[in-house]
Amino acid sequence: MSGVRAPENPQDVIHDIGYRHYEGPRLSTAYATRSLYTSSLRGAFGLGRSGKSKILPMAMVVIMALPALIMVAVSIYIKSGKLPVDYPNYLTDLQFVTAVFTAAQAPVLLSRDLRFMTVPLYFSRPLRSTDYVRAKYAAMVSAVFILTLLPMLIMWIGSMLGSMDFGYNLKHFAFGVVAAVLYALLYAGLGLLIASATPRRGFGVAAIIALFMVSEGVAGALRGVLHVTGHQASAFWISMLNPGFLIDSTVAWMFGLPLRGPAAVPTTVGGIVFLAEMVLLAVGTYALLIRRYRKI
């Protein structure tokens, strides 16, 4: 084939269609992580998305805050001088709302990226898998914290408007903030871990709901049985089965608060075990999320 000569007038032409190299500022990985956090937090409440996407998260916000608003209004009107429900107990009473919000919105943050295969696009940039998990985890924790903090903030402001004991309400509001932080860490971590296991949003929602609701029902039933059979002293161990009861019992132990119903305040050993379980759940879910996304 050495005798074959290339054509003297080749037909290949390079066209200049106007593309140029980007010469502007290149932002850091930290900026990309913050941007992902901001967009994920907004997405957890349906902001920046269609009106249909806002219905459920905003409904959960209203359901969480409305009883607090009514309770404050009635307390001020009748001049009771004290709120009928303590701040941490309010979160325990409405833990199902927190569970539904987590179950509905955790898959929004993760399952969509898995389903539409956009995760590799994130990782094709300087954003690493650990940065992705950190942004999503922080966004979900922030969303749950905002949801749980809002009604207690309404209660605290109402207590000041009603000229209630400022010192007492400030102290117990702080107790409630601690409970809200624990709810945010545990519920967000468990919800995201389950949501990361499936690209199907419906499967993720059902699995998260099952975890929170079934554990609440089983723990409540067992606590009632132990109370009826005269084993109240050991009934507090049942709280380890449900994240909401676990938080309620731990906060009561930490700050010397009473518990309602068949629940009992943990002993010193029990309180330490409860704290250790919560740390293990928060750290463990985060570590498992990082391990999950390193394989993608």
Cα–Cα dist 275/13, whole Å: 70
Q: Which residues of 99-127 are buried (b: 16+ CB within 10 A; e: fewer)?
A: bbbbbbbbbbbbbebbeeeebeebbeeeb
Q: Is residue 90 part of a domain?
A: yes
Q: Is residue 17 part of a domain?
A: no
Distance in Å from the first CA to the final CA of the chain: 48
Q: Is residue 1 part of a domain?
A: no
Q: Is residue 139 part of a domain?
A: yes
Q: Is residue 158 part of a domain?
A: yes
Average pLDDT, the chain: 87
In Å, what is the CA distance from 88 to each residue of 187, 202, 223, 225, 233?
16, 31, 19, 24, 22
Q: Is residue 108 part of a domain?
A: yes
Residues of the chain with pLDDT under 70: 1-20, 22, 123-125, 231-233, 261-263
Q: Domain range for residue 262? A: 29-294
Q: DSSP assignment, residue 16? A: -
**Predicted TM-score of the model (pTM):** 0.86
Best CA proximity match to 247, nearest among 176, 190, 153, 188: 176
* pLDDT tens sequence across 1-22: 455 555 566 566 666 666 667 6
The predicted pLDDT at position 141 comes to 97
Q: Is residue 77 part of a domain?
A: yes
* pLDDT tens sequence across 20-63: 676 777 777 888 889 889 999 999 998 887 888 889 999 999 99
Q: DSSP assignment, residue 259? A: -
The predicted pLDDT at position 259 comes to 80
Hey, which bits of 137-254 come out as E strands?
none
Q: Is residue 7 part of a domain?
A: no
The predicted pLDDT at position 1 comes to 47
- Tally of structural domains, the chain: 1
Radius of gyration in angstroms for the set of CA atoms belonging to the chain, rounded to a whole number: 26
In Å, what is the CA distance from 45 to each residue of 49, 104, 185, 192, 272?
9, 10, 18, 16, 35
